[in-house]
Amino acid sequence: MTKLSVSLSCCDYDRCRAIFDGRVTIEGCDVYPTALEPEECFHRAFKHQEFDISELSLSSHTLTSAQGTNAYVAVPAFVSRLFRHSGIYVRTDRGIERPEDLSGKTIGLPEYQITANVWIRGILSDEYGVGVSDVHWRSGGIEEPGRSERAPLDLPGNIDLQPIPADQTLSQMLEAGELDAVIGARAPSCFDRGAEGIARLFPDVQAAEQNYYERTNIFPIMHVIGIRRNLAEQHPWLAVSVLKAFTEAKRLAMEDLSQIGHLYVSLPWAVAEKDRVMALMGNDYWSYGIEENRHVLEVFLRYHHEQGLSKQMLTPEALFAPSTSELTKV
């Protein structure tokens, strides 16, 4: 049987690397992979559908699925997960000492709809009572002027979201005192270079994130793997083959992390750190699959709806190829 030729784009994470180097294949496919930074994957997928299989932003995937405009269907391979307490940067001269102090403040963000910001706003609301309508949101590029939303938004009138001036950046405005805080997946350069009066909201990020996990059992999902919808419909076997490949690639990466005879990661105590994480989060702490992550997905989808991004609250099943929900039952 002739194999299906597919193009693939995602970041060269350790948990995906075996697909890039050929140790893992996608059954029935000849794969032509391209390693790209996630933001480029998203742009090229959502704007131009350039790749048959692509890493996707969970928020953009949810937004376009709710709008009925999504050219991709996902498989529950969560190649990017991150706690996001580290992504809140504040001015120290605005009386912001606790998360609750962000109420009424003007906060910059690179895009309203990006996954990291959905999680941060949701955590602020659930954990600290700072609702999405309690803040004045200002959007723009962190370091380069002119950034706009990846997908069109239709937010409720009680959400104050406005673009910053076209010639300004969030980092400049935070340092100049024109913003009280900035949230996002990347640190503004004013923080990185130690500009006076700029700090993280949570000084001990790791302690805050571990405490959050212990209370909620949530390890936030950031990105999924998507397949062009018309291709998945034309080849119904493809979604399961893709999920199996990414699952096996992750297994190999985790196996490498446990090697004590030689280190695959350039950190002297990498194995001890993995053991510490497993003691806190369980052996399969980076789990794939819908059922294994239902509680995480349902919280995210609630946040997405509450923040005005999806008009109706989706179920996890609405995001994924139906065949992939049954893979773990085989």
Q: Are residues 128 and 188 in the same domain?
A: yes
Bridge partners, 9 (sequence order): 34, 54
Q: Are residues 106 and 190 in the same domain?
A: yes
Q: What is the pLDDT of residue 151?
A: 75
d(CA 114, CA 162): 16
Q: Are residues 76 and 153 in the same domain?
A: no
Mean pLDDT of the chain: 95
Contact 77, 242 (CB under 8 A): yes
- The DSSP bridge pattern shows strands 198-200 and 181-183 to be unpaired
Contact 111, 259 (CB under 8 A): no
Beta strands in the chain, from DSSP E residues, in sequence order: 4-10, 29-35, 53-57, 72-81, 88-91, 106-109, 136-139, 160-163, 181-183, 198-200, 221-228
Q: Are residues 158 and 169 in the same domain?
A: yes
pLDDT tens-digit profile of 248-291? Answer: 999 999 999 999 889 888 999 999 999 999 999 999 999 999 99
Give the number of other CB atoms < 10 A from CB of residue 223: 27
Q: Is residue 329 part of a domain?
A: no
Number of compact structural domains in the chain: 2
Say which CATH number the domain at 128 has: 3.40.190.10
d(CA 147, CA 114): 12
- 329 pLDDT tier (thresholds 50, 70, 90): very low
pLDDT at 328 over 80: no
What is the phi-psi region of residue 49: left when phi exceeds 0, alpha when psi lies from -120 to 50, beta otherwise? Answer: left
Question: Which 3 state secondary structure label does DSSP give 54?
Answer: strand
Distances (CA, A) of 95 to 101, 103, 114: 7, 11, 27
Contact 39, 213 (CB under 8 A): no
Beta strands in 246-285, from DSSP E residues, in sequence order: none
Q: What is the pLDDT of residue 1?
A: 67
Domain boundary, last residue among 216, 240, 261:
216
Q: Are residues 309 and 228 in the same domain?
A: yes
The full length of the chain comes to 330
Q: What is the pLDDT of residue 81?
A: 98
Bridge partners, 227 (sequence order): 53, 73
Q: Is residue 76 part of a domain?
A: yes
Q: What is the pLDDT of residue 149?
A: 80
Q: Are residues 162 and 270 in the same domain?
A: no
User: Counting Cβ atoms within 10 Å, is residue 45 exposed (0-12), middle (13-18) or buried (19+)?
Assistant: buried
Q: Are residues 41 and 103 in the same domain?
A: no
In the block, tokens 């709809």 appear at 113
What is the mean predicted confidence (pLDDT) over 48-63?
A: 97
Rg over alpha carbons for the chain, rounded to the nearest Å, is 20
Question: Which 3 state secondary structure label does DSSP give 197?
Answer: coil
pLDDT at 37 over 70: yes
pLDDT tens-digit profile of 180-214? Answer: 999 999 999 999 999 999 999 999 999 999 999 99
d(CA 73, CA 153): 21
What is the mean predicted confidence (pLDDT) over 74-95?
A: 98
Q: Is residue 14 part of a domain?
A: yes
What is the mean predicted confidence (pLDDT) over 301-318?
A: 97
In the block, tokens 């005005």 appear at 308
Q: Are residues 39 and 121 in the same domain?
A: no
Q: What is the pLDDT of residue 30?
A: 97
Q: What is the dihedral of CA 107, 113, 119, 120, to 10 degrees?
A: -10
At position 200, the amino acid (one-letter code) is R
Q: What is the pLDDT of residue 327?
A: 61
- 330 pLDDT tier (thresholds 50, 70, 90): very low
Residues 144, 146, 148, 150, CA torsion sign? negative
Domain boundary, last residue among 216, 239, 254:
216
Q: Are residues 296 and 310 in the same domain?
A: yes
Q: Are residues 185 and 93 in the same domain?
A: yes
Q: Is residue 330 part of a domain?
A: no
Q: Are residues 93 and 63 in the same domain?
A: no
Q: Is residue 313 part of a domain?
A: yes
Q: Is residue 235 part of a domain?
A: yes
Alpha carbons within 13 angstroms on the beta-carbon side of residue 74 total 27
pLDDT tens-digit profile of 243-260? Answer: 999 999 999 999 999 998
pLDDT at 304 over 80: yes
Domain boundary, last residue among 157, 185, 216:
216
Which ranges of the chain would DSSP assign to H, the alpha helix?
A: 17-20, 38-48, 58-67, 115-128, 170-176, 189-192, 205-216, 229-234, 238-257, 270-281, 294-306
Q: Is residue 326 part of a domain?
A: no
Q: Are residues 195 and 129 in the same domain?
A: yes
Q: Is residue 289 part of a domain?
A: yes
Give the number of other CB atoms < 10 A from CB of residue 160: 14
User: Domain of 279?
Assistant: 4-82+220-320
Bridge partners, 53 (sequence order): 8, 227
Q: What is the pLDDT of residue 316?
A: 97
pLDDT tens-digit profile of 134-186? Answer: 999 999 999 999 888 877 889 999 999 999 999 999 999 999 999 999 999 99
